[in-house]
Structure 1
Amino acid sequence: MNTLFVFGLGYSARFFAKQAVAKGWRVMGTMREPQEIDGIEVFPFDGKTHFEDFAGRLEGVTHVLHSIPPHKDLGDPLYNLQRKHFARLKKLQWFGYLSTTGVYGNADGAMVDETFERTPSSPRSIARKEAEDAWLGTGLPVHIFRLAGIYGPGRSTFDQIRQGRARAIDKPGHVFSRIHRDDIAGVLWASIAHPQPQTAYNVCDDQPAEPLKVLREACRIMGHEMPPVQSFEEAVETMSDMARTFWLDNKKVDNSRVKEALGYELMYPGFKEGLEAIWAEENHHDH
């Protein structure tokens, strides 16, 4: 029987885990503060103490998805605490690690594919690169997924607009890649169907775009007026460190490997299709 274990049932991983339940898989996973999720056995794991009875709990596991981000100073908690135990999982066929396109650092707007040298520009992204290398060195059937900016229902520009957090920052030529939550799950399933251990995949859509364009489109769909547009120079004065980090890197991410090697076809090839679908889904539930 296919058995999935998810470390870190966050936004994207939880959606994928629910799809696995729907496919009839046995699904287990961890959260810092466990809560009930239909069809998923949830265990506590805070990344600070060893996972209890690891070998026993994971004995029959065929697929692992690791989505816990590394700590910028301490590194990957799962690797640090449990890596030895994974070698004992006799049935493990596939190990997916959710990384980020942040590992590439800044490319001054150029296109990066999976062979592009990783020169991360922030402590968080450096920790990501180190975690990728650590897992690839374990000899497990590791697949690395470098995710672009994640968005989806309950986590999109619409939410920022509703909460009054959306900022219209104009920095011409500075683009970001994005990926819809449903397409992340789609790529993971495509990889499970065609495992290629020790491979990294860029997971993003076909349309890197300036955030201002995405915000304009979201306001248009909502029928909401645009927040006042600020120049980047003006906006950066009042930005959090995290937001500044976000603007350090300018690159376009090449997703041809997921299409060619995995035969994956994006459900939402651009932010317009993605936003329209989220709007339809969120408003369908409300009325």
Structure 2
Amino acid sequence: MRQVVIAGCGDLGGALAERLMAQGWTVYGMRRDTSRLPEGVQPLTGDLLTDDCPADWPRKIDYLVYCPAAGKRDAELYRALYVDGLRRVVGWMAERRQQPRHLLQISSTGVYAQSQGEWVTENSPALADSDTARALIEAEDVALRSGIPASVVRLAGIYGPGRNRLIEQVRAGVAVPADPVQYTNRIHRDDAAGLLQHLLVQADQHELLAPCYLGVDDEPAPLHEVCSWLAEQLGTTLAAEGPGIGRTGSKRCSNALARETGWVPGYPSYREGYAAMLSEA
């Protein structure tokens, strides 16, 4: 029976945990409030911002998934959580002479600085110069130099259950200009969890994983197109002027490498994903 620790087991980690448990894996979920873990997850009460290893740390770890969520764009918090926190967890395992088979470190497509609609792959330079992006890139380096076989998974904007911000902005009549074109990239929460599950199973089957994957759907799309489609579904219209969404950057991220492994997104574009959300609502 495979044992996996999900450090930072929030919304995404919980969705991954449910998938792995359905396959018979034993899942340990680390977070400060373990009462919010899915049923069946073995709780590890701990804080990634402190040096104290959880008292009930498992004796055997086959896989580690590091996927905390900062909750806000704060450079100091990003460094403390993503860089120092990962170093702590790697250190806890080293102290116990634990050598997982693979480490998945969850990062973001925000590490890319491309902003002119360019296509981006895992081989594109990650040169975003914000303090938060630099912290993520440093965290990726910690994972890849940890001494544990590791892969970085750069996820695009996650949407899905409970992540309704764009829907509510469109419902409120936000202004989204068509020009200049602003490409956006996204992935449904369930597809993100499915990709992580798929990569873990691949590693467990002794498949050689790449050091980096982009976790995005099949169709980068102009923000104006996405919001116009949502407005049509909601029976409203976008404002001609006024407050905007405040997004920056414009790039098109490719999921070709992830698809080459056999992963297929259940929600290939924003249309399928948001349609499912609206029908559930």
Is the shorter-chain TM-score for this pair beyond 0.5, marking a shared fold? yes
2:167 alignment counterpart = 158
Is the aligned partner of 1:204 residue 2:216? yes
Query: How big is the shift at 1:81?
Result: 2.5
1:263 alignment counterpart = 262
Question: Equivalents in 2 of 1:107, 1:172: separation in Å?
Answer: 11
Q: What is the TM-score of this pair, normalised by structure 1?
A: 0.83
Structure 1 window deviating more from structure 2 (95-104 vs 7-16): it is 7-16
Can you list the C-alpha shifts for 1:81-105, whole angstroms capped at 9, x where unaligned?
A: 3322233454622211110001112
Q: Check conservation: 2:160, 2:188, Cα contact below 8 A.
A: yes
Query: How big is the shift at 1:159?
Result: 4.4
Q: Check conservation: 2:66, 2:86, Cα contact below 8 A.
A: no
Q: Check conservation: 1:59, 1:89, Cα contact below 8 A.
A: no
Query: How big is the shift at 1:151?
Result: 0.7
Is the aligned partner of 1:4 residue 2:4? yes
Aligned-residue identity in percent:
27
Can you list the C-alpha shifts for 1:107-144, whole angstroms capped at 9, x where unaligned?
A: 42111110111101311111001100111011212111
Unmatched 5+ stretches in structure 1: none
2:41 alignment counterpart = 40
Structure 1 runs, 4 residues or longer, greater than 3 Å off: 87-91, 159-162
2:236 alignment counterpart = 225
1:253 alignment counterpart = 253
Secondary structure of 1:134's aligned partner: helix
Change (3 A) 1:210 1:121: farther
Number of residues of Structure 1 aligned to a counterpart in Structure 2: 266
2:113 alignment counterpart = 105
Q: Check conservation: 1:104, 1:120, Cα contact below 8 A.
A: yes
1:167 alignment counterpart = 174
1:114 alignment counterpart = 122
Q: Check conservation: 1:34, 1:44, Cα contact below 8 A.
A: yes
Q: Check conservation: 1:168, 1:215, Cα contact below 8 A.
A: no
1:18 alignment counterpart = 18
Query: How big is the shift at 1:32?
Result: 2.9
Unmatched 5+ stretches in structure 2: none
Is the aligned partner of 1:72 residue 2:71? no
2:150 alignment counterpart = 142
Query: How big is the shift at 1:72?
Result: 2.0
2:228 alignment counterpart = 216
Q: Check conservation: 1:30, 1:45, Cα contact below 8 A.
A: yes
Question: Equivalents in 1 of 2:97, 2:274: separation in Å?
Answer: 40
Change (3 A) 1:40 1:51: farther
Question: Equivalents in 2 of 1:36, 1:272: separation in Å?
Answer: 30
Q: Check conservation: 2:103, 2:143, Cα contact below 8 A.
A: no
Query: How big is the shift at 1:219?
Result: 2.4
Change (3 A) 1:150 1:49: same
Q: Check conservation: 1:60, 1:89, Cα contact below 8 A.
A: no
Q: What is the TM-score of this pair, normalised by structure 2?
A: 0.85
Can you list the C-alpha shifts for 1:51-102, whole angstroms capped at 9, x where unaligned?
A: 4356x61322212111125762334232343322233454622211110001
Change (3 A) 1:83 1:92: closer
Q: Check conservation: 2:128, 2:134, Cα contact below 8 A.
A: yes
Change (3 A) 1:53 1:189: closer
2:90 alignment counterpart = 83
2:135 alignment counterpart = 127
Change (3 A) 1:209 1:229: farther
> Which amino acid counterpart does residue 49 of structure 1 have in structure 2?
T
> Which amino acid counterpart does residue 228 of structure 1 have in structure 2?
A
Can you list the C-alpha shifts for 1:236-283, whole angstroms capped at 9, x where unaligned?
A: 7xx8xxx4xx41x221101110011x1112211111111112223x24
Change (3 A) 1:192 1:127: same
1:275 alignment counterpart = 274
